[in-house]
Structure 1
Amino acid sequence: MAKPLLEVSGLKKHFTITGGVFSRKIGSVQAVNDLSFTVMEGEILGIVGESGCGKSTTGKAILRLIEPTAGKITFEDHDITDISDEEMRKLRRDMQIIFQDPYASLNPRHTVEKIISEPLLIHSELSAEKRKERVHELLEVVGLSAYHASRYPHQFSGGQRQRIGIARALANNPKLIICDEPVSALDVSVQSQILNLMSRLRDEFNLTYIFIAHDLSVVKHISDRVGVMYLGNMVELTNKDTLYEKPKHPYTQALLSAVPSLDPDVKKDRIILQGDVPNPASPPSGCVFHTRCPKAMDICKQIKPDFLEAEDHHFVACHLYD
């Protein structure tokens, strides 16, 4: 039976807003606000939501690429929230990230061999010859060839560059990979190739993914469970089949109503959300979604709903199901 690889409890990340002559603190942007979830070994957890909802910030905070404001992050039963930079550096061989832009994330002055071998240089004691062999092996694994090692990033297409980014993430045999919208910058035909590659690598190397995206169709294709975020809060979390067939939160229902169907005979009742996403520097009181929710009640404006298990393994933050 799979056991938890990562546990996140009460995670918060607030960015300070400064102003005035002396740059004093005048407020804060609540990018991530009290997130709690668990990722099991070998699982793919999808995280979806509108742009600016805090998905990417969540991923970077888990890896301590940015420091969390509050909360607890447990990786393999070890609390990594406050460990030193040196301890975190050692741990990074087990926790990697694939970035959204496959060109910006690769150093244009380095060859592919140098890009992929850099993690090996930092985290292993392999000789130069062994590192070169490992680079060639990784290129073959992600669908490229050994002769590509001497080329530079600008000589590849977007899909090929993302394969190089995946190879770099795999270099030290990590256990957890956070995928920060890894296919959003790619053509649709290339997206499917990269998603199929990532699924195959998960099975081949027993990887665990946190897959961050805004495309619900992409997340449905690759994920085992899906969490929906809105304005820094997790509003719903369950397995993908349940979420797509029986969404409980009004925000999830609205998102899914906008997904086009491949069947022309299927008619959907589109849920149009009114208004704009509130300012995360001044979020609404109570439920953060109540300003746009078609089912909002008086209690929604006053009391923030708890993130509770409405049904078996189906968590939702909504007073309708509290």
Structure 2
Amino acid sequence: MKMPLLEVKDLKVHFPTDKEFLSKEESVVKAIDGVNFTIYENETFGLVGESGCGKSTTGKAILRLIEPVIGEVIFKGKDINKISRQEMRKVYKDMQLIFQDPYASLNPRMTVGKLIEEPLIVNSNLTPNERKERVAELLEVVGLNAYHASRYPHEFSGGQRQRVGIARALALNPKLIIADEAVSALDVSIQSQVLNLLRKLQREFGLTYLFISHDLSVVKHISDRIGVMYLGRIIEQGTKHSLYEKPLHPYTQALFSASPSIKAENRKERIVLKGDMPSPANPPKGCAFHPRCFAATSKCKTVQPELRDVGDGHYVACHLYNE
């Protein structure tokens, strides 16, 4: 039986906004409004949804780069939202982040060797020679060469820079890696190479991934289970096979119908949604998706559906299945 490595329970991140003129109330932007999911050891959990739905904020809140207002983040059995910043530094050895933009996340004034060595200097007792050997080993692991250590980030292509970012994330032998749109800035041909590298590293080092992306084909390729987010909440969750073969939530159905397919038999009739995603500063009452939903009922306008198991670990937050 797989053991849970990470459990996220009722996680909420609200950002205060300026008070409106002559208003006594301070409004908030509900970037995340009660997110729940579990990631098991050695699996990849994909988080997918439209831009602005709260995917990246969820990743940052798990790492406490953004402080949540409420909720639990249980990592290896410990709620890391209740520990001090000093204790959190020790947790970061086991939790690492791969950024979306490989160039912006690398200091242009430091060589690649120094960039990868930096976490080793701060968090290990290795000697300078041992650190140099570790850097060379990490570069080889991600498909680069030891002589690349003396080069600067601008001397690499986008795919190579992302490999450097992956090497840096691997430096401290983490248990969990959060990949935030890790391949979205790369060409399609390079995306597949980086995805295959991530899967190879997962097998070799027993890694666990939280893979955040808006690209459905990418998420399907790398994930074991997937959570679909809409306006700060997960509205459907299941294995990639159950989700792609039989999406239940109307939003998931619309999202997947827009995904192109090479095979004619896999192509679905496009479901076009009306309007745009509502503002998280003023979310609709009831189900947040109801203003755009083609199957909405009167109940959807007043009652927020709960995320419930509808069988075989497939969860959905929709009144069509919650009766």
Q: Structure 2-normalised TM-score?
A: 0.97
1:49 maps to which residue? Answer: 49
1:289 maps to which residue? Answer: 289
In the TM superposition, what is the alpha-carbon distance from 1:268 to its structure 2 partner?
2.2
Does the C-alpha gap of structure 1 residues 170 and 296 become closer, same or farther in structure 2, counting only changes over 3 Å? same
1:64 maps to which residue? Answer: 64
In the TM superposition, what is the alpha-carbon distance from 1:2 to its structure 2 partner?
1.5
The yes-or-no answer on 1:247 pairing with 2:247 is: yes
Residues 99-144 of structure 1, C-alpha deviation per residue, up to 9 Å, x if partnerless? 0000000001100011001111111010111001000000000000
In the TM superposition, what is the alpha-carbon distance from 1:28 to its structure 2 partner?
0.8
Report the Cα distance in structure 2 between the residues aligned to 1:309 and 1:47, rounded to whole angstroms: 18
Instruction: Decide whether the 8 Å contact of 2:31 with 2:231 is kept in 1.
Output: yes
Report the Cα distance in structure 2 between the residues aligned to 1:20 and 1:239, rounded to whole angstroms: 44
1:137 maps to which residue? Answer: 137
Instruction: Decide whether the 8 Å contact of 2:19 with 2:27 is kept in 1.
Output: no
Gaps of 5+ in 2: none
1:175 maps to which residue? Answer: 175
2:200 maps to which residue? Answer: 200
Residues matched between the structures, number:
320
1:160 maps to which residue? Answer: 160
Gaps of 5+ in 1: none
Instruction: Decide whether the 8 Å contact of 1:19 with 1:25 is kept in 2.
Output: yes
Instruction: Decide whether the 8 Å contact of 1:275 with 1:292 is kept in 2.
Output: yes
1:299 maps to which residue? Answer: 299
The yes-or-no answer on 1:280 pairing with 2:308 is: no
Residues 167-196 of structure 1, C-alpha deviation per residue, up to 9 Å, x if partnerless? 000000000000000000000000000000
Does the C-alpha gap of structure 1 residues 147 and 267 become closer, same or farther in structure 2, counting only changes over 3 Å? closer
Report the Cα distance in structure 1 between the residues aligned to 2:307 and 2:10, rounded to whole angstroms: 11
Instruction: Decide whether the 8 Å contact of 1:179 with 1:212 is kept in 2.
Output: yes
Q: Structure 1-normalised TM-score?
A: 0.97
1:10 maps to which residue? Answer: 10
> How many percent of aligned residue pairs carry the same amino acid?
63
Instruction: Decide whether the 8 Å contact of 1:16 with 1:25 is kept in 2.
Output: no
2:316 maps to which residue? Answer: 316
The yes-or-no answer on 1:216 pairing with 2:216 is: yes
Report the Cα distance in structure 2 between the residues aligned to 1:301 and 1:283, rounded to whole angstroms: 12
Report the Cα distance in structure 2 between the residues aligned to 1:253 and 1:20, rounded to whole angstroms: 37
* Counterpart residue identity of residue 89, structure 2: R
Does the C-alpha gap of structure 1 residues 20 and 308 become closer, same or farther in structure 2, counting only changes over 3 Å? closer
In the TM superposition, what is the alpha-carbon distance from 1:312 to its structure 2 partner?
1.8
Comparing 2-11 with 259-268, greater Cα deviation is found at 259-268
Report the Cα distance in structure 1 between the residues aligned to 2:105 and 2:70, rounded to whole angstroms: 28
1:89 maps to which residue? Answer: 89
In the TM superposition, what is the alpha-carbon distance from 1:18 to its structure 2 partner?
2.0
Any runs of at least 4 consecutive aligned residues in structure 1 with deviations exceeding 3 A, and if so which? 264-267
Does the C-alpha gap of structure 1 residues 131 and 317 become closer, same or farther in structure 2, counting only changes over 3 Å? same
Task: Give the RMSD, CA atoms, in angstroms.
Answer: 1.2
2:257 maps to which residue? Answer: 257
Residues 208-264 of structure 1, C-alpha deviation per residue, up to 9 Å, x if partnerless? 000000000000000000000001010000000000000010000001101111024
